[in-house]
Every structure is written in structure tokens, then in C-alpha cells.
């Protein structure tokens, strides 16, 4: 089973803008998502598929994901006929609300993989949770038993969620605490990687507000954020990478603990903080993450 790997940032580009797709691939995001769904006018769906297919076939550079249309949209099968090729990392499936959607997309992808001679389970799926029903069912969605194995990861979509709920998204984002927390906890409970957060849409120019919003999502357990403008990439990569202070403290924790463990002591204090096994394990994870983002202490 292939996996997407770390996703601090994934930048959306409409499939109808091939010029922007090329730029996006070198803009520093961990992945690029070519959109066939809501950023594409209904009349342009088939043109969009052609462009997405061409870009996927040309891709040699990075993690490329295509957001196909939802299962019941009438476009999904056609999208899947066009886009999957070996150079595609995975697809994003919008409007996921039940385990049936997971089983259905898995079956449809198995057919694509078989037709193209690609090993089953090669394409990962980012399932967008973006409705009250999706949020309510999130644990069941990600607990669906799938064979052969395929990676499923969650992302949160606040625009559709706010439409479904009839609520406004505010700068403070307090109304998103519940769905974010529920999604993050459910993913971990189902043994999945941490989810990716909704794009920040309410003020594209305010990068400080974006940083605050990303920090909130990180604090609730998200690993990264969907981006809708290249200017959002650097601040989000920064927020979702460990800080130099976190890395150096984590290294000190591991060092001090290993020394005391060798002396038969399982807990200690460092800078007035209590350190035991879970704290050390968390520090080790911070160090591993810092290595994968190319940061050292
Ligand atoms: C993304 O698709 C969203 O609805 O926020
Ligand atoms: Mg949406």
C-alpha cells in the first residue's frame, strides 16, 4: 500500500487553469490538488478532465492529487476514467458521508488500477468531510474495513459544512471547534493519520489571521492545511513544522530520559516539567517530524 506521507500543505488549483498547475508544482506545497469539482463550472467539466489527465501524465515532480466529483454527482465515474495514471498520488473525494462512499470509491479505484496494470491500493484517497452527516459519521467512515489495503486520510471542508449547517465562518472560528475536534479524534481512534484542515477562506490577504487559524487546527490534532492561494503555503508549512525551540527541547528530553532510564529511573524533571514515557515518545515524534521536514536542532 502506498501512502501520501506528510501533508503540511496541499494547494488547490482549478483544472481549467493549466498555467497555475505548473506554478503550483514548484510553489513549495507538500502536494498539489487539481480540482475537477467545485472550482470548475459545470459546463467545463469535460475540458477540465482533459487538462487534468494531461497534467497527471506529465507529472514527474511531486505529489499530485486530483479532486474528483462526489460519488452521486453523475461525474465521478467519468473523472475516474480519465485521471488515474501511475504518476498520480491519489484522489480527493468530496462530500463523503458514510462507509458506503468509502467502499464504493475503493471498488471504483480497484477497477482503474486493474485496467491500467497498477497494483491494487496504489491510489490513496483523501476523503473530504464537509457536511453535518459526514462529521457525525466520521469514526464509522474511517473504520470501514477495506481489502486489499488502501490509504484513506481525512480533510475538513468548512465551506460546504457551513452551507449545510446554515452558519457563518468567523475570523475567530469558534464554530469550527466541534467538527475539527470530532474529525481529529475519530481519525486517530480509527488508526488513521491526522487529518488535513479546511482552507482559510475569509480573508486571503490576512496571513496573520491564517497563521492563527492554522495554529488552532494544529492544536486540535491536524497535520496540515488545504491552501487556496500560493501565499498561504509558507505560513502553513511553518506552522505545521516543529519550531527550533520544540526540536531542541525534544532532543534534551530524549537525552535526559535515556540517561535516567539507563540508571533505572523511569521519570524525571527537566526545566520544572515532568517527563515520563509518553512525553518522551512525543519528543521522539517531534524529532522524526523535524527530520522529515529537513530541520535539525
Ligand atoms: C472545501 O471543499 C470546502 O467545502 O471547504
Ligand atoms: Mg467543499
Q: Is the CB of 157 under 6 A from ligand 1?
A: yes
Q: Kindly report, residue by residue over 213-227, the tens digit of the pLDDT.
A: 999 999 999 999 999
Task: Provide the residue ranges of all domains of the chain, joining segments of one domain with +.
Answer: 9-239, 244-292
pLDDT at 296: 54
Q: Is the CB of 160 under 6 A from ligand 1?
A: yes
- Among 198, 202, 222, 228, the mutation site with the greatest number of ligand 1 atoms within 8 A of its Cβ is 198
Q: Kindly report, residue by residue over 273-289, the tens digit of the pLDDT.
A: 999 999 999 999 999 98
CA 294–ligand 1 middle distance (angstroms)? 30
CA 159–ligand 1 middle distance (angstroms)? 5
Q: Kindly report, residue by residue over 201-217, the tens digit of the pLDDT.
A: 999 999 999 999 999 99
Nearest to 133 by CA among 182, 168, 86: 182
Handedness of CA 13, 196, 239, 4 (dihedral sign): negative
pLDDT at 2: 82
Q: Are 125 and 105 a contacting pair, CB within 8 Å?
A: yes
Does the structure show a pLDDT above 60 at 187? yes
Q: Is the CB of 159 under 6 A from ligand 1?
A: yes
DSSP state for residue 45 in the 8-state scheme: H
Does the structure show a pLDDT above 60 at 297? no
- Among 131, 158, 213, 225, the mutation site with the greatest number of ligand 1 atoms within 8 A of its Cβ is 158
Q: Are 98 and 137 a contacting pair, CB within 8 Å?
A: yes
Q: Is the CB of 198 under 6 A from ligand 1?
A: yes
CATH class for the domain made up of 9-239: alpha beta
Pairing, β 64-67 against β 90-93: parallel
Of the chain, the percentage scoring pLDDT greater than 90 comes to 88
Instruction: Tell me the three-class secondary structure of 152-220, residue by residue.
Output: EEEEECHHHHHHHHCCCCCCCCHHHHHHHHHHHHHHHHCCCCCCEECCCCCCCCCHHHHHHHHHHHHHH
* Lowest mean pLDDT, pick from 94-98, 102-106, 205-209, 291-295: 291-295
pLDDT at 1: 79
Ligand 1 atom closest to residue 128's alpha carbon, by position in its atom list: 2
Ligand 1 atom closest to residue 160's alpha carbon, by position in its atom list: 4
Closest residue by CA, ligand 1 atom 1: 157
Q: Is the CB of 158 under 6 A from ligand 1?
A: yes
Ligand 1 atom closest to residue 158's alpha carbon, by position in its atom list: 5
Q: Is the CB of 134 under 6 A from ligand 1?
A: no
Does the structure show a pLDDT above 80 at 33? yes
Ligand 1 atom closest to residue 226's alpha carbon, by position in its atom list: 1
* Lowest mean pLDDT, pick from 41-45, 80-84, 123-127, 134-138: 80-84
Q: Kindly report, residue by residue over 49-98, the tens digit of the pLDDT.
A: 999 999 999 987 789 999 999 999 999 999 999 988 889 999 999 999 99
Average pLDDT over residues 24-33: 92
pTM of the full predicted structure? 0.93
pLDDT band at 293 (very low <50, low <70, confident <90, very high): confident
Pairing, β 268-270 against β 273-275: antiparallel
Amino acid at each position: 500500500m502506498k501512502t501520501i506521507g506528510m501533508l503540511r500543505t496541499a494547494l488547490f488549483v482549478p483544472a481549467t487553469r493549466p498555467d497555475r498547475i505548473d506554478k503550483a508544482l514548484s510553489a513549495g506545497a507538500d502536494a498539489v490538488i487539481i480540482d475537477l469539482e467545485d472550482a470548475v463550472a459545470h459546463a467545463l467539466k469535460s475540458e477540465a478532465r482533459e487538462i487534468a489527465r494531461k497534467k497527471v501524465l506529465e507529472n514527474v515532480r511531486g505529489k499530485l492529487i486530483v479532486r474528483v466529483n462526489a460519488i452521486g454527482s453523475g461525474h465521478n465515474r467519468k473523472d475516474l476514467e480519465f485521471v488515474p495514471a501511475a504518476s498520480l498520488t491519489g484522489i480527493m473525494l468530496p462530500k463523503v458521508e458514510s462507509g458506503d462512499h468509502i467502499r464504493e470509491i475503493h471498488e471504483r479505484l480497484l477497477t482503474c488500477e486493474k485496467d491500467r496494470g497498477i497494483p491494487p491500493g496504489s491510489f490513496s484517497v483523501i476523503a473530504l468531510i464537509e457536511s453535518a452527516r459526514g462529521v457525525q459519521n466520521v469514526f464509522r467512515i474511517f473504520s470501514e474495513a477495506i481489502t486489499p489495503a488502501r490509504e484513506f486520510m481525512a480533510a475538513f471542508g468548512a465551506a460546504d459544512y457551513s452551507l449545510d449547517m446554515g452558519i457563518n465562518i468567523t475570523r475567530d472560528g469558534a464554530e469550527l471547534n466541534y467538527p475539527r475536534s470530532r474529525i481529529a479524534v475519530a481519525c486517530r481512534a480509527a488508526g488513521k493519520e491526522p487529518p488535513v484542515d479546511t482552507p482559510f477562506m475569509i480573508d486571503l490577504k490576512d496571513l496573520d489571521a491564517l497563521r492563527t487559524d492554522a495554529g488552532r487546527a494544529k492544536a486540535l490534532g491536524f497535520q496540515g492545511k488545504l491552501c487556496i492561494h500560493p501565499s498561504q503555503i509558507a505560513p502553513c508549512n511553518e506552522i505545521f513544522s516543529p519550531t527550533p525551540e520544540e526540536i531542541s527541547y525534544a532532543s534534551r528530553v530524549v537525552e535526559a530520559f535515556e540517561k535516567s532510564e539507563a540508571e533505572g529511573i523511569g521519570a524525571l524533571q527537566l526545566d520544572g516539567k515532568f517527563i515520563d514515557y509518553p512525553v518522551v515518545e512525543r519528543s521522539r515524534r517531534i524529532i522524526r517530524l523535524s527530520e522529515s521536514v529537513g530541520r535539525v536542532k
